[in-house]
Amino acid sequence: MAKLSICGVSKRFQSRAGAVEALKDIDLEIADGEFVVLVGPSGCGKSTLLNIVAGLETADSGQVLENDRPIAGPGRDRGMVFQDGALFPWLTAEKNVQFGLRQMGIPAAERARRAKEYLRLVHLSRFGDSFLHELSGGMRQRVAIARALALEPEALLMDEPFSALDAQTREGLYAVLQEIWERTGKTVMFVTHNVREAVCLADRVVVLSTRPGRIVGIYTVQLARPRVLDDVDVIRISGQISAALKQGLADTRREEYDEDWQPAESDLLRTADNMLGDNI
């Protein structure tokens, strides 16, 4: 049974340059417990699609179903992790995790117990009383994950959650995220522009093209977990998907660059040695 169904979703934006078709006729079914990653060039509307599923934006046409019921606005059944975390700096890490539970009217003792449990899940048990500025970027994103999971949502939505972090921190978070996913069995919808990140995490990689944002390919990744970024198979599949993405990128180029510009093809090895006297 599909946990989330996206049926014929389209979205337009009105900009000064005219109407932009951000999403066109998106159909996607996400099964219970599946890890789906949306990948595409910047401006392809992948974040918009995620926001529509979250209920933060509305589609112009089409609808999103959760357990066969249409979603109506944002809700705690879909936990969201934002690119910058969007944690509340006036609260400690643990109070951040408790925020949603407080809104549900759960008593303080139970709240504290659950917040601690989810902080332990992201390996931050010792940092519950820290304020956010005392935590590193990677730790903050883990708090954000704990905050979303503490509400025990049906699905976890992640909007480029690791894109602001350095490579080493990211690697660590891939491991944590895969571990959490295996333990909780949550349905995850994850957005990124990084193909290797997508392959490293996903059961299925959904490739979007740009303007209009359409699904141009869906790739099932059947590799053993936990995966790492440097795994040969991850790199091989990433290469295949990147080739498909090139088409989407070519479209972006037409939109955003001058028309006569083409990136240079890689051909010969260019080093100082074989360039001797070339440009005299």
Partner 1 sequence: MQVGGTLWHSIRNHTLLPATGISLRRLLIGYGISLAAGIPAGLLLARVDWLEDTVGSLVLGLQTLPSICWLPLALLWFGLNDAAIMFVVVMGALLAITVAVKDGVKNVPPGYLRAAQTLGVRPFALYTEVLLPASLPAILTGAKLGWSFAWRSLMAGELLYVSLGLGHMLDMGRELQDMSMVVSVMLVIVLLGLLADRAIFGLLESRIRERWGLSG
Contact positions toward partner 1, by CB under 8 A?
54-56, 73-76, 78-80, 82, 84, 86-91, 99-100, 102-104, 131-134, 147-148, 151, 157
Measured from the CB of residue 23, what is the shortest distance to partner 1 in angstroms?
19
6 within 8 A of 34, measured Cβ to Cβ: no
Backbone angles phi, psi at 128, to 5 degrees: -55, -35
Distance (Å, rounded) from C-alpha 152 to C-alpha 154? 7
SS3 199: helix
Measured from the CB of residue 93, what is the shortest distance to partner 1 in angstroms?
13
Q: Is 96 or 192 the residue whose CB approaches partner 1 more closely?
A: 96
Q: Is 135 or 205 the residue whose CB approaches partner 1 more closely?
A: 135
Q: Is 71 or 195 the residue whose CB approaches partner 1 more closely?
A: 71
Q: Is 137 or 226 the residue whose CB approaches partner 1 more closely?
A: 137
Integer angstrom CA distances of residue 119 from 58, 110, 148, 180: 32, 14, 11, 12
How many CB atoms are located within 10 Å of the residue 151 CB?
21
Bridge partners, 13 (sequence order): 20
Measured from the CB of residue 19, what is the shortest distance to partner 1 in angstroms?
23
* Cα-based angle 272, 277, 278 (whole degrees, multiple of 5): 80
Measured from the CB of residue 175, what is the shortest distance to partner 1 in angstroms?
25
Measured from the CB of residue 103, what is the shortest distance to partner 1 in angstroms?
5
Q: Is 134 or 255 the residue whose CB approaches partner 1 more closely?
A: 134
